[in-house]
Amino acid sequence: MILKELNGHKPKMGSDCFFAETAVVVGDVEMGDQCSIWYNAVVRGDVHYIRMGNRVNVQDCAVIHGTYKKSPTNIGNNVSIAHNAVVHGCTIHDNVLIGMGAIVMDDSVVESNTIIAAGAVVTPGMHVKGGSIYAGVPAKKVKDISSEMISGEIERIAESYVKYSGWYK
């Protein structure tokens, strides 16, 4: 793993975290407990801060970044950021699944208990209402999320990545 201090900011992590050998974490990054940063994922807190809660998994080739002096990135608890997703200068609340290849852009907000479908693009400044599934380009609400989908997808994936990371420790 590349763990790099930059401009006086050293990444800080909670307990029981996993970092793949090719993961990159730079600068003003803070994450909670049981987080995992997977192969070729980049969490780059060089131009603005990145804050992540507990049980956040950043899957293979995903990128988390912000915009210089304008848009930091804040991520809540129990969030899965799937393969090849880009999370940039936005706020993601608790219990969210960002699907494979999805893009969440500057100054957007994703409320809790939400799925951003694979390949969706949440445009700058967009406010995604909680308890929903958003899909498409640009992302639009496609339906309300059921309690079964919250436990069967959002919570299941977050729990699975805590388990998977244990295999590597």
Angle at 81 between CA 75 and CA 84, to 5 degrees: 130
Instruction: Report which DSSP code applies to 145.
Output: P
What is d(CA 67, CA 166) in angstroms, rounded to the nearest whole number? 33
Note the pLDDT of residue 169.
Answer: 85
What is d(CA 30, CA 140) in angstroms, rounded to the nearest whole number? 31
What is d(CA 163, CA 169) in angstroms, rounded to the nearest whole number? 10
What mean pLDDT comes out for the span 150-167?
Answer: 95
pLDDT bucket at 166, cuts 50 / 70 / 90? very high
Give pairs for 118-122: CB < 8 Å, separation 24+: 118/82, 122/90
pLDDT bucket at 157, cuts 50 / 70 / 90? very high
Note the pLDDT of residue 144.
Answer: 96
pLDDT bucket at 58, cuts 50 / 70 / 90? very high
Q: Which domains, from first to last, does the chain contain? A: 2-168 (2.160.10.10)
- Residue reference for tokens 């999320």: 145
Note the pLDDT of residue 35.
Answer: 98
Beta bridge partners of 115: 97, 133
- The dihedral over CA atoms of 135, 25, 79, 92, expressed in degrees to the nearest 10, equals -60
Note the pLDDT of residue 24.
Answer: 98
- Summarised one tens digit per residue, pLDDT across range 32-42 is 999 999 999 99
Note the pLDDT of residue 121.
Answer: 98
